[in-house]
Amino acid sequence: MRLLIPIVIVAALACQPGDTPSGDTGPQVRDSAGIRIVENAPSPGGSRLPWRISAEPVVTIGRAEGDEPYLLYRVTDALRLADGRIVVLNNGTQELRVFDGDGTHLATWAGRGEGPGEFRSLAAIEPWRGDSIAAWYGPRRGVTLFDENGNFGRNIVIERDENSLLFNPKATGRDGAILVSHEPHMYETVEVQIRDPEGKIVASLGMHPGDERYIANEGTDRSTMYYPPFSARAAQTAWGDLFVHASTGQHEIRAYAGDGTLARIVRLGVAPRVPTQAHIDAYIEDRISWIPPEVPPEEVEQYLIRQRRAWEAVPVAEFLPAFNSLIADRVGHLWLEEFEPPGEERPGARWTVLDPEGKVLGWVETPDGLEIYEIGADYLLGDTWDELGVEYVQLWSLER
């Protein structure tokens, strides 16, 4: 089966500035059978928060040429330790590169291999209890722990299910609990679980839809998998003492306590939006804009015709996604990246921010081209590229 590159979509949660419906009473909070339900009204999402992001990054890590630690390749995550050091996951070398608060390289941890603290497919890092670091997608698809000095601690094995399907780590909680699930892009339905700090099952959050997919039979023994335009994907994170497993196709967020019980339902207060033909056309043109280098110049025209026909046959989601991604900051707010329909893009990304209870506070715009990995009380940490394809990790100040 030939797999297409997963589609990166963003989604519109908030109303446009000034779109304040009459009679708006703001978020409504109630309890039902022990579940806190937050009903957000449309108007708060239309308010720009008076938070300020610096005009320029305060720290930039990365160079076009020079010493190896500064030459970044396929960064997939980064975090900031309590003392201000920045840990960069350089996937291209399977390393954790550590820099001081000014961006000077201090040390390199981990690396490619099969031994303790080494990786073949390192993909993500998160804070662990104290000032330790949890890293995952190693050889055993488990979690590897390092202390604040990069010393290998131990491996946490995440056992497979009864059908030998892998559970992949998705987020770590404050108490060392781990949110795991089957990989959503691989299966139609996935089980989501909470594991304890030893990797043992605490609770199952049940079965949930995986990422929406479409399999096109090409009339031979080959088929092609597509992520349909505007299709829903799974989104997971730790949010304070809770764990979130949500779908980008839903206009509500469900958060679970550490024992697996449903603790909070946050309804976003925005009506679903139907994609227009202009959205669909723009989406397809974007999908076929990249031409593989192996396609000869004289065959490009026919290649584009085939690709356009193939995409036109893929079913389109009924509604635009409710959001693209979500991330909880270090002070308990939940940030939801909004959707920009094709043809309606704007510079930078806009995020709807929920307070620790789930009430919509308003929205914030983040720097153009910055993929955000972590949001602290007073900073944004993310990854970006210049026009030559040189990669940089940047720290931006945030004044709330």
Q: Nearest CA to 284 among 221, 230, 346?
A: 230
Given CATH 2.120.10.30, say whether it is the number of domain 2-275+316-399.
Answer: yes
- Residue 374: CB atoms within 10 Å: 21
**pTM for the full predicted model:** 0.89
- Residue 263: CB atoms within 10 Å: 17
191: exposed, middle or buried (Cβ count in 10 Å: 0-12, 13-18, 19+): middle
Q: What is the pLDDT of residue 303?
A: 95
What is the distance between the alpha carbons of residues 326 and 316, in angstroms, rounded to a whole number? 23
80: exposed, middle or buried (Cβ count in 10 Å: 0-12, 13-18, 19+): buried
Q: Could you give the angle at which helices 300-312 and 277-287 cross, rounded to 10 degrees?
A: 140
Instruction: Give the DSSP letter of residue 297.
Output: G
What is the distance between the alpha carbons of residues 325 and 337, in angstroms, rounded to a whole number? 5
Q: What is the pLDDT along the chain (400 residues), one digit of tens a residue?
A: 323 333 333 333 433 333 433 445 678 998 998 999 999 987 544 689 999 999 999 999 999 999 999 999 999 999 999 999 999 999 999 999 999 999 999 999 999 998 889 999 999 999 998 889 999 986 567 899 999 999 999 999 998 888 888 999 999 999 999 999 998 988 889 999 999 999 999 999 999 999 999 998 866 677 889 999 999 999 999 999 999 999 999 999 999 999 999 999 999 988 899 999 999 999 999 999 999 999 999 999 999 999 999 999 999 999 999 999 999 999 999 999 999 999 898 889 999 999 999 999 999 999 999 999 999 999 999 999 999 999 999 999 999 9
Q: How many helices (H) and strands (E) does the chain have?
A: 2, 30
Q: What is the pLDDT of residue 5?
A: 34
Please report where in the chains the tokens 């635009």 appear, as a residue.
320
What is the distance between the alpha carbons of residues 344 and 337, in angstroms, rounded to a whole number? 15
Residue 230 identity (one-letter amino acid): F
Write the DSSP string, 192-235.
EEEE-TTS-EEEEEEEEE----EEEE-SSS-EEEE--TT---EE
Phi, psi of 196 (to 5 degrees): -85, 180
- What are the beta bridge partners of residue 126? 134
